A = this chain, B = another copy of it.
Protein backbone atom coordinates (compact mmCIF):
# COMPACT_ATOMS: atom_id res chain seq x y z
CA UNK A 1 0.00 0.00 0.00
CA UNK A 2 1.66 3.18 -1.23
CA UNK A 3 0.13 6.60 -1.84
CA UNK A 4 0.73 8.16 -5.25
CA UNK A 5 2.46 11.52 -5.62
CA UNK A 6 -0.93 13.06 -6.46
CA UNK A 7 -2.44 11.61 -3.27
CA UNK A 8 0.46 12.93 -1.18
CA UNK A 9 0.09 16.38 -2.75
CA UNK A 10 -3.63 16.33 -2.14
CA UNK A 11 -3.07 15.38 1.53
CA UNK A 12 -0.56 18.18 2.05
CA UNK A 13 -2.71 20.78 0.25
CA UNK A 14 -6.13 19.89 1.70
CA UNK A 15 -5.09 18.42 5.05
CA UNK A 16 -7.06 15.23 4.37
CA UNK A 17 -7.21 12.36 1.91
CA UNK A 18 -10.18 10.09 1.19
CA UNK A 19 -9.35 6.52 0.12
CA UNK A 20 -12.50 4.93 -1.37
CA UNK A 21 -13.11 1.19 -0.92
CA UNK A 22 -9.89 0.65 1.03
CA UNK A 23 -11.50 -2.11 3.12
CA UNK A 24 -13.85 -4.83 1.87
CA UNK A 25 -17.38 -5.31 3.15
CA UNK A 26 -16.26 -8.61 4.75
CA UNK A 27 -13.57 -6.76 6.69
CA UNK A 28 -16.02 -4.06 7.74
CA UNK A 29 -18.54 -6.68 8.86
CA UNK A 30 -15.90 -8.42 10.97
CA UNK A 31 -15.04 -5.10 12.66
CA UNK A 32 -18.72 -4.22 13.19
CA UNK A 33 -19.38 -7.65 14.72
CA UNK A 34 -17.00 -6.78 17.58
CA UNK A 35 -18.92 -3.66 18.63
CA UNK A 36 -22.02 -4.89 20.52
CA UNK A 37 -19.92 -6.68 23.16
CA UNK A 38 -17.45 -3.79 23.46
CA UNK A 39 -20.20 -1.13 23.66
CA UNK A 40 -22.11 -3.10 26.30
CA UNK A 41 -19.19 -2.82 28.73
CA UNK A 42 -19.49 -0.29 31.57
CA UNK A 43 -15.96 1.11 31.70
CA UNK A 44 -14.19 4.48 31.55
CA UNK A 45 -13.14 3.70 27.96
CA UNK A 46 -16.77 3.95 26.84
CA UNK A 47 -18.04 7.55 26.67
CA UNK A 48 -21.81 7.95 26.51
CA UNK A 49 -23.87 10.76 24.89
CA UNK A 50 -24.66 13.77 27.03
CA UNK A 51 -28.42 13.33 26.71
CA UNK A 52 -28.71 9.55 26.53
CA UNK A 53 -27.07 6.28 27.59
CA UNK A 54 -25.93 5.55 24.01
CA UNK A 55 -22.17 5.00 23.56
CA UNK A 56 -20.65 7.93 21.65
CA UNK A 57 -17.01 6.84 21.70
CA UNK A 58 -15.38 3.57 22.72
CA UNK A 59 -11.61 3.78 23.27
CA UNK A 60 -8.62 1.53 23.95
CA UNK A 61 -10.12 -1.08 21.62
CA UNK A 62 -6.85 -2.81 20.63
CA UNK A 63 -6.30 -3.66 24.30
CA UNK A 64 -9.84 -5.00 24.65
CA UNK A 65 -10.36 -7.06 21.47
CA UNK A 66 -8.25 -9.26 19.14
CA UNK A 67 -9.63 -7.91 15.86
CA UNK A 68 -8.79 -4.35 16.87
CA UNK A 69 -5.34 -5.54 18.10
CA UNK A 70 -4.68 -6.57 14.48
CA UNK A 71 -6.50 -3.61 12.92
CA UNK A 72 -4.13 -1.08 14.53
CA UNK A 73 -1.30 -2.78 12.60
CA UNK A 74 -3.15 -3.04 9.28
CA UNK A 75 -0.79 -2.19 6.40
CA UNK A 76 -3.49 -0.43 4.37
CA UNK A 77 -3.65 2.33 7.01
CA UNK A 78 -0.25 2.10 8.65
CA UNK A 79 1.90 2.13 5.49
CA UNK A 80 0.39 5.38 4.12
CA UNK A 81 0.90 6.94 7.57
CA UNK A 82 4.56 5.87 7.67
CA UNK A 83 4.97 7.11 4.08
CA UNK A 84 3.63 10.55 5.04
CA UNK A 85 5.54 10.84 8.32
CA UNK A 86 8.79 9.17 7.18
CA UNK A 87 9.50 7.92 10.72
CA UNK A 88 8.38 5.32 13.25
CA UNK A 89 5.06 5.87 14.98
CA UNK A 90 3.35 4.65 18.15
CA UNK A 91 -0.33 4.06 18.75
CA UNK A 92 -1.74 7.14 20.41
CA UNK A 93 -5.50 6.41 20.46
CA UNK A 94 -7.81 3.67 19.13
CA UNK A 95 -11.55 4.21 19.08
CA UNK A 96 -14.89 3.88 17.35
CA UNK A 97 -16.96 7.06 17.21
CA UNK A 98 -20.57 5.90 17.04
CA UNK A 99 -22.89 8.67 16.00
CA UNK A 100 -26.00 6.56 16.39
CA UNK A 101 -29.24 6.96 14.44
CA UNK A 102 -31.59 9.65 15.84
CA UNK A 103 -29.35 10.37 18.84
CA UNK A 104 -25.85 11.27 17.61
CA UNK A 105 -24.76 14.66 18.90
CA UNK A 106 -22.67 17.49 17.50
CA UNK A 107 -18.88 17.76 17.53
CA UNK A 108 -18.08 21.47 17.51
CA UNK A 109 -15.35 22.92 15.28
CA UNK A 110 -11.99 21.74 16.58
CA UNK A 111 -8.66 20.23 15.57
CA UNK A 112 -7.01 17.33 17.30
CA UNK A 113 -3.65 18.99 17.99
CA UNK A 114 -5.26 21.47 20.40
CA UNK A 115 -6.00 18.52 22.68
CA UNK A 116 -2.80 16.61 21.94
CA UNK A 117 -0.71 19.68 22.76
CA UNK A 118 -2.81 21.19 25.54
CA UNK A 119 -3.61 17.98 27.42
CA UNK A 120 -0.73 15.65 26.57
CA UNK A 121 2.13 18.05 25.83
CA UNK A 122 2.69 16.72 22.31
CA UNK A 123 5.26 19.14 20.81
CA UNK A 124 4.25 19.32 17.13
CA UNK A 125 1.10 18.79 15.00
CA UNK A 126 2.41 15.63 13.32
CA UNK A 127 -0.05 12.95 14.49
CA UNK A 128 -2.31 11.46 11.82
CA UNK A 129 -5.92 10.44 12.31
CA UNK A 130 -6.75 7.33 10.23
CA UNK A 131 -10.42 6.46 9.76
CA UNK A 132 -12.44 3.58 8.37
CA UNK A 133 -16.18 4.11 7.76
CA UNK A 134 -18.07 1.21 9.35
CA UNK A 135 -21.41 2.47 7.96
CA UNK A 136 -22.27 4.48 4.90
CA UNK A 137 -21.54 8.10 5.74
CA UNK A 138 -23.80 10.53 3.88
CA UNK A 139 -25.04 14.10 4.15
CA UNK A 140 -27.77 13.05 6.58
CA UNK A 141 -26.00 11.09 9.32
CA UNK A 142 -23.38 13.56 10.55
CA UNK A 143 -20.30 13.23 8.32
CA UNK A 144 -17.02 14.81 9.39
CA UNK A 145 -16.88 18.24 7.78
CA UNK A 146 -13.40 19.60 7.06
CA UNK A 147 -12.35 23.19 6.50
CA UNK A 148 -10.15 22.50 3.50
CA UNK A 149 -6.54 23.64 3.95
CA UNK A 150 -7.13 24.96 7.48
CA UNK A 151 -4.10 22.97 8.74
CA UNK A 152 -1.81 25.27 6.74
CA UNK A 153 -2.64 28.27 8.93
CA UNK A 154 -1.09 26.53 11.95
CA UNK A 155 -2.82 25.98 15.30
CA UNK A 156 -5.90 28.22 15.54
CA UNK A 157 -6.88 29.83 18.88
CA UNK A 158 -9.12 27.56 20.95
CA UNK A 159 -11.15 27.45 24.13
CA UNK A 160 -12.25 24.46 26.21
CA UNK A 161 -15.88 23.43 25.68
CA UNK A 162 -17.15 21.27 28.52
CA UNK A 163 -20.83 22.08 27.95
CA UNK A 164 -21.90 21.04 24.46
CA UNK A 165 -20.85 17.42 24.49
CA UNK A 166 -20.04 14.62 26.90
CA UNK A 167 -16.38 14.86 25.89
CA UNK A 168 -14.38 18.04 26.76
CA UNK A 169 -13.13 19.58 23.53
CA UNK A 170 -10.79 22.45 22.67
CA UNK A 171 -12.94 24.28 20.12
CA UNK A 172 -12.24 27.00 17.56
CA UNK A 173 -14.22 30.25 17.81
CA UNK A 174 -16.77 31.44 15.23
CA UNK A 175 -14.67 34.30 13.82
CA UNK A 176 -11.72 31.99 13.12
CA UNK A 177 -14.00 29.38 11.52
CA UNK A 178 -15.58 32.10 9.37
CA UNK A 179 -12.17 33.24 8.08
CA UNK A 180 -10.85 29.71 7.48
CA UNK A 181 -14.04 28.69 5.62
CA UNK A 182 -13.89 31.84 3.49
CA UNK A 183 -10.40 30.74 2.49
CA UNK A 184 -10.79 26.98 1.97
CA UNK A 185 -14.49 26.09 2.00
CA UNK A 186 -16.17 23.08 3.61
CA UNK A 187 -15.93 19.46 2.47
CA UNK A 188 -17.94 16.60 3.98
CA UNK A 189 -16.19 13.21 4.03
CA UNK A 190 -18.77 10.80 2.64
CA UNK A 191 -18.72 7.30 1.22
CA UNK A 192 -19.83 3.68 1.59
CA UNK A 193 -18.60 1.39 4.39
CA UNK A 194 -14.91 0.54 3.90
CA UNK A 195 -13.97 4.07 2.80
CA UNK A 196 -10.85 5.27 4.59
CA UNK A 197 -9.65 8.72 5.48
CA UNK A 198 -6.39 10.29 6.67
CA UNK A 199 -6.31 13.77 8.14
CA UNK A 200 -3.83 16.16 9.68
CA UNK A 201 -3.54 17.15 13.33
CA UNK A 202 -4.21 20.88 12.70
CA UNK A 203 -7.09 20.39 10.25
CA UNK A 204 -10.20 22.11 11.63
CA UNK A 205 -13.28 19.89 11.47
CA UNK A 206 -16.62 19.27 13.12
CA UNK A 207 -19.69 17.15 12.62
CA UNK A 208 -23.38 17.78 12.97
CA UNK A 209 -26.01 15.78 14.82
CA UNK A 210 -27.39 12.55 13.38
CA UNK A 211 -31.18 12.83 13.16
CA UNK A 212 -31.37 10.22 10.39
CA UNK A 213 -32.43 6.61 10.94
CA UNK A 214 -28.93 5.49 9.88
CA UNK A 215 -26.05 4.91 12.34
CA UNK A 216 -22.70 6.49 11.49
CA UNK A 217 -19.93 4.46 13.12
CA UNK A 218 -16.32 5.32 12.28
CA UNK A 219 -13.13 3.58 13.39
CA UNK A 220 -10.36 6.03 14.27
CA UNK A 221 -6.69 5.27 14.87
CA UNK A 222 -4.35 8.10 15.81
CA UNK A 223 -0.62 7.47 15.29
CA UNK A 224 2.15 9.82 16.31
CA UNK A 225 5.91 9.83 15.56
CA UNK A 226 8.10 8.54 18.40
CA UNK A 227 10.10 11.77 18.23
CA UNK A 228 6.90 13.69 18.97
CA UNK A 229 5.63 11.60 21.89
CA UNK A 230 3.50 12.93 24.73
CA UNK A 231 5.32 14.77 27.53
CA UNK A 232 2.45 14.98 30.05
CA UNK A 233 0.35 12.15 31.52
CA UNK A 234 -2.71 14.11 32.59
CA UNK A 235 -5.28 12.05 30.65
CA UNK A 236 -5.97 8.34 31.15
CA UNK A 237 -4.00 5.83 29.07
CA UNK A 238 -6.93 5.09 26.71
CA UNK A 239 -7.02 8.75 25.66
CA UNK A 240 -3.30 8.79 24.88
CA UNK A 241 -1.44 5.53 25.28
CA UNK A 242 1.86 5.57 27.21
CA UNK A 243 3.30 2.64 25.26
CA UNK A 244 5.47 4.34 22.65
CA UNK A 245 6.80 1.13 21.07
CA UNK A 246 7.09 1.55 17.28
CA UNK A 247 4.18 -0.21 15.57
CA UNK A 248 4.88 -2.39 12.53
CA UNK A 249 2.45 -3.46 9.79
CA UNK A 250 1.05 -7.01 9.63
CA UNK A 251 0.11 -8.76 6.38
CA UNK A 252 -2.71 -7.50 4.17
CA UNK A 253 -5.05 -10.31 5.25
CA UNK A 254 -4.27 -9.88 8.94
CA UNK A 255 -7.82 -9.19 10.03
CA UNK A 256 -8.92 -12.72 9.26
CA UNK A 257 -5.91 -14.36 10.94
CA UNK A 258 -7.17 -16.93 13.41
CA UNK A 259 -10.77 -16.57 12.20
CA UNK A 260 -12.34 -19.90 11.15
CA UNK A 261 -13.34 -19.92 7.45
A181 at the interface (CB under 8 A from B): yes
Tally of this chain's copies? 2
User: What 9 additional pairs, Cβ within 8 angstroms, besides A140-B186, A208-B209?
Assistant: A101-B178, A108-B211, A109-B211, A139-B139, A140-B188, A174-B213, A177-B213, A182-B213, A206-B211
**Among B101, B106, B108, B178, which residue has its beta carbon within 8 angstroms of that of A213?**
B178
Q: In the assembled complex, how far is the CB of residue A210 from the closest CB belonging to chain B, in whole angstroms?
A: 9
A212 at the interface (CB under 8 A from B): yes
How far does the alpha carbon of A246 sit from the alpha carbon of B113 in the complex, in Å? 61
Which size class do A's interface residues fall under? 20 to 34
A256 at the interface (CB under 8 A from B): no
| 26 CB-based A-B contacts, threshold 8 Å | A101-B174, A101-B178, A102-B174, A102-B177, A106-B209, A106-B211, A108-B211, A109-B211, A139-B139, A139-B188, A140-B145, A140-B186, A140-B188, A145-B211, A174-B213, A177-B213, A178-B213, A181-B212, A181-B213, A182-B213, A186-B212, A206-B211, A208-B208, A208-B209, A208-B211, A209-B209
